[in-house]
Amino acid sequence: MKNIVVIGGGIAGVEVACMMAETGNRVTIIERDNKLGGKLNNWYCLFPDFKKSDEILNYIKNRISKFNIEVKLNSNVEKAERNGNTWLVHTENAICKADAVIIATGYQLFDATRKEELGYKIYDNVITQADMEQRFREGNFLTSYGKKPERIAIVHCVGSRDEKCHNMYCSKVCCVTGVKQAIEINKFLPDAQIFCFYMDLRMYDKFFEELYRTAQEQHNIQFIRGRVSEVSETPDQHLSIKTEDTLSGRPMKMKLDMVILLAGMETKKNTKEIADKFGVDREISGFLKSKDFHIGAGILTQKGVFAAGTCIAPMSIKETIENARSTAFQVNEYLKTL
Amino acid sequence: MKFDDIFYYPFLAGTIYLFAVIIGRFIRWFLGLSKIDKIRIRKGFFSVKTLQSIWESIREGLLHFKMYRVNKLLGYMHMSFALGWFLLIVVGHIETSCYYGTLNFPFQHSIFYRYFITEQTDFPGHVFFAYAMEFLLFYVLSGVLLAYFKRFKSKLFGMKKTTRMRYGDHIALTSLWLIFPTRFFCEICSAGIYANGSPIFNAIGAFAGQYLPLESLLKPLWAFYSIDLGIFFCAMPYTRYMHIFAEINYIFLKNWGIRLKKRVNTFTMAEVYSCSRCGVCIDACQLNLAGIKNSQSVYVLKNIRNKNLTDEVLFNCLLCGKCQEICPVGIDVNNLRITQRIETTLQYNSSYDYLETGIAKKSDVVYFAGCMTHLTPAIKKAMLKILDQSGENYWFMDETKAPCCGRPLMLAGQFDAAQKLIDNNQKLILDSGAKTLVVSCPICYKVFKEDYMMPDVEVRHHSEYILDLVKQGKLTLKQSDKKIVYHDPCELGRGSGIYEQPRELLSYSNNLVPINNEKEKAMCCGGSLANLKISMAERNILSEQVMNEFASYNPDYVVTSCPLCKKTFAKTDILPVKDIAEVVVENIENKN
């Protein structure tokens, strides 16, 4: 029986842990939060089918309860040492022996205050998609002035594909998140006008394109091609945005009540530290570097260390689960060689 | 024809040619100046500025104080050449006139003294003169030796780079390097034959005479010396060595108040020729870090002179002014570059006919945020809080409709278009009746200060203005335990000389840590809009390097007073960055 340590107890961490336990290994999860589930805990529902995120959380809970997996909550990796083929992973109050370590630390949302011109945390009615999910959960749609918003803008690619904030890559899931949230808002606030400001819409997966079409045809969402350059507050308690409609080639100004920023995915600071502790390479983008992008995305550049989920690259929930399963397979292949 | 009568002709020809060219150039430069500049010269000529210029010429032209301060070895090298050679000429003349007992002697006897004066001399101080001249020769030779090392091993000078040369430069450089060793051998040779040097040289000469046919070497050596001088003097006007005379000329013109005023004129050439290509500006330039190695000031000056300046070089510059600050000659390189840029963009014309005249609000203070501040709304919000809190009767001029201050157009040489914006804004400001204009952006600050005609309106950058408010008791600040470093924006610091006010303001509340590269030496954030050629990746290298330097002081955050610097630094995500106004807002003591 081999020992496996999984760092991170989000979707990827739990799924890969269960897969490893299922194939007869002794598994420990190190989670720094006080509960499993990661960012999903704060989400309301998922694209493309509006499945409640709680359903996925329940799936995780049920699944993990079937196995004898040790879960260390409120724990952080302090140190990692390699002794031959064995890793010693130190947390605050324990040392875990591992034949293989799986990093599943996930991502962090791009800090939208870094795009100061968009006014996040300066104007109360500028929020991120994560804040919006929280509002869906709470059923709170009022502006900070206590009014029902009449005009809402959703700004795509905040901190993604943006050389100006050192992030050259695409976060992949924000496009469809924006479309999903636009439809949800329309369901809650049928009278509100909703505008999506995008560069191009990357509807890459099953049902995404259909969702985009539905948004336009049935929910009257307006899509304007152009990046928002500036958000400001007008003296009459509205927001004003500046952009260019690049299809008509005209600069435009628009008055709004609420702006939702689709902040991209970034590597966590914490992932960077863990990568350094295990001597794992990272890409220029900050994400963990796979040994082979095509045939072994979960295998990292350090022997006995693997990765699952969004610490490798931006992924949707579905892809994260698939990726975790594939990593588990690769870890088992590796364990056979020991 | 006897050898004695003609061997100095090459030297003589070189000298005459050199001075003819120099005087010709000086006259051409003078004639090309504007009428006002000519009046400035006439007025300045009989003023104390002329005396100042003489002193500055000695200090920088001969002694090279400024260069010595920047780089000791380089300063010594330049000083040994300039001062040593100058004294060789002066002391040589005194020696010769002492020998003849009159000032009326054939001039070549002073230049080629040991060749002509072969008898044993006994005028008072002759031994002193012999020693003095030989000492001076050694002094110059020490500089030659350093120059030799510098050319091949510039790292010895602590310089990463030294200037690249062209074909003509090589001729001049070689002849310059040969002048003093040749002179040394000439003197040894003469001393060996005639024993007319100092006892030391005589002994060396006698020793050399045992092995070498000094008699037959004498004339070729002295002839070579003369020819070498001649070649150097002829090459001088076409190489960087022209700076020896041009620099003196520049010092006088500069002190008499001549500046480049938005357009190129012959003063450009007076500046260009003053550059000694010492290379100090190359190392001062941050662009090196990003691998940009062909657009530093020395190369621009060289390219202007050689008429091969490309846009790639001209526009690949942050205009941060670090090289200007450190330039030993004090060449106004930023202005020089800006005027060159203007010549290339004059053809474009933007129309601002659509500008509408707004309505001014009567107030005591006008606040102008500027476009960059609108892109950093936290600064705008902080400023409004400060203005509200201090109870000022103010008008936020560009709150909804945001006119441009005109600076970008000014820098692009579109004076007519810029003037339309300036007139429009100026009318509004004057209509408001305000006595103070507060701006948040150092880029705007400079144009309001320099190009607007509002003699009764005081233009204040917000760092100065908030300090005034605190001093007048309109704002009270409480103590904070935050440790901070302050970044001097180029336009506010080197550009406008505002270093102390922000520091004083920050010291009211915070623990302000002094850093190594601050004030005049402050680095550019890398975001400068002046550089039209740099890539975003190259910019990021510059920004990260500066932020990492700040991070080495472990501050809680970095404070600056320019929206562009703030934005540039913030995106590196290395340390939190705040504007000085935001820091003040955090520390305002609420009046109850």
Q: What is the CATH number of the domain that holds A204?
A: 3.50.50.60
On chain A, the residues whose CB falls within 8 A of the CB of B377 are 116-117, 119, 122-123, 231-233
Would you call A114 and B570 a contact, using CB atoms and an 8 Å cutoff?
yes
**Same domain as A302, residue A254:** no
Q: How long, in residues, is chain A?
A: 338
A220: left (phi over 0), alpha (psi -120 to 50) or beta: left
Taking the CA of residue A311 and the nearest CA in chain B, the distance in Å comes to 19
**Same domain as A308, residue A200:** no
Helices (H) and strands (E) in chain B, counts: 29, 8
Q: Give the best residue of B372, B397, B398, B573 to mutate against chain A (max A CB count within 10 A).
A: B573
Angle separating helix axes B9-32 and B214-235, nearest 10 degrees: 10
**Same domain as A188, residue A78:** no
Examine the pLDDT at A43 and tell me if it is beyond 70.
yes
**Same domain as A298, residue A228:** no
- Its sign, for the CA torsion B7, B13, B19, B22, is negative
* Cα A266 from Cα A311, distance rounded (Å): 9
Q: Is A166 on the interface with B (CB under 8 A)?
A: yes
Mean pLDDT of A313-332: 96
Mean pLDDT of A91-96: 92
Would you call B571 and A165 a contact, using CB atoms and an 8 Å cutoff?
yes
Q: Which of A264, A295, A312 is the last residue of a domain?
A: A264
Low-confidence ranges of chain B (pLDDT < 70): 1, 154-166, 591-592
**B457, B436 in Cβ contact below 8 A?**
yes
On chain B, the residues whose CB falls within 8 A of the CB of A234 are 400
Q: Is A234 on the interface with B (CB under 8 A)?
A: yes
- The least confident of A115-119, A292-296, A325-329 is A292-296
Give CA torsion, residues B253, B258, B263, B265, to 10 deg: -30
Would you call A116 and B570 a contact, using CB atoms and an 8 Å cutoff?
yes
On chain B, the residues whose CB falls within 8 A of the CB of A166 are 540, 571-573
pLDDT band at A326 (very low <50, low <70, confident <90, very high): very high
Q: Is B354 on the interface with A (CB under 8 A)?
A: no
User: What are chain B's domains?
Assistant: 3-32+64-238 (no CATH), 365-469 (3.40.50), 477-586 (3.40.50)
On chain B, the residues whose CB falls within 8 A of the CB of A241 are none
**Same domain as A125, residue A14:** no
**Same domain as A65, residue A102:** yes
Strands B458-461 and B483-486: unpaired
The beta-carbon contacts of B531-537 under 8 Å, at least 24 apart in sequence, are: B531/B315, B531/B316, B531/B317, B531/B318, B531/B319, B532/B315, B532/B316, B533/B295, B533/B311, B533/B312, B533/B315, B533/B316, B534/B287, B534/B290, B534/B292, B534/B316, B534/B318, B536/A163, B536/A164, B537/A163
**Strands annotated E in B78-189:** none
Question: Which helix H or strand E contains A46, and what residues bound it?
Answer: strand A45-46
Closest listed residue to residue B194, CA positions, set B215, B222, B221, B224: B215
Average confidence score pLDDT of chain A: 95
What is residue A187's predicted lDDT score, i.e. its pLDDT? 95
Would you call B573 and A114 a contact, using CB atoms and an 8 Å cutoff?
yes
What is residue B170's predicted lDDT score, i.e. its pLDDT? 84
* Cα B140 from Cα B135, distance rounded (Å): 9
ipTM over 0.95? The verdict is no
Taking the CA of residue B563 and the nearest CA in chain A, the distance in Å comes to 10
pTM for this entry: 0.85
**A330, A298 in Cβ contact below 8 A?**
yes
* Cα A164 from Cα A182, distance rounded (Å): 27
Q: For A301, which DSSP code? A: S
Which domain covers residue A34, as residue numbers? Answer: 3-106+268-337
Q: Is A114 on the interface with B (CB under 8 A)?
A: yes
- Its sign, for the CA torsion A160, A166, A168, A172, is negative
- The least confident of A6-20, A63-77, B121-135, B340-354 is B340-354
Would you call B376 and A117 a contact, using CB atoms and an 8 Å cutoff?
yes
CA nearest B382 in A: which residue? A122
What is residue B263's predicted lDDT score, i.e. its pLDDT? 86
Q: Is B400 on the interface with A (CB under 8 A)?
A: yes
**Same domain as A192, residue A133:** yes
DSSP H helical ranges for B390-480: 407-411, 415-432, 442-451, 462-471
CA nearest A111 in B: which residue? B573
What is residue B165's predicted lDDT score, i.e. its pLDDT? 67
Strands A290-292 and A296-300: antiparallel
What is residue B414's predicted lDDT score, i.e. its pLDDT? 84
Q: Give the best residue of A117, A229, A253 to mutate against chain B (max B CB count within 10 A).
A: A117
Q: Is A232 on the interface with B (CB under 8 A)?
A: yes
pLDDT digits (tens, 9 = 90+) for A225-280: 999 999 999 888 899 999 999 999 999 999 999 999 999 999 999 999 999 999 99
Q: Which of A264, A279, A301 is the last residue of a domain?
A: A264
**Same domain as A139, residue A92:** no
The partner residue sitting opposite B400, judged by closest CB among A116, A122, A234, is A234
Q: Is A141 on the interface with B (CB under 8 A)?
A: no
In the numeric block, the tokens 């130190």 are attached to A90
**Same domain as A163, residue A291:** no
**Same domain as A116, residue A191:** yes
Q: Which residues contact B386 (CB under 8 A, 6 or more apart)?
A: B466, B469, B475, B581, B584, B585, B588
Other C-beta atoms within 10 Å of B65: how many?
A: 15
Q: Which of A245, A264, A283 is the last residue of a domain?
A: A264
Cis amide bond preceding B377, omega within 30: no
**Same domain as A135, residue A243:** yes
**Same domain as A53, residue A143:** no
Give me the residues paired with residue A27 across strands.
A4
Q: Give the best residue of A125, A126, A164, A269 to mutate against chain B (max B CB count within 10 A).
A: A164
Q: Is A92 on the interface with B (CB under 8 A)?
A: no
**Number of structural domains chain A divides into:** 2
- Its sign, for the CA torsion B452, B456, B462, B467, is positive
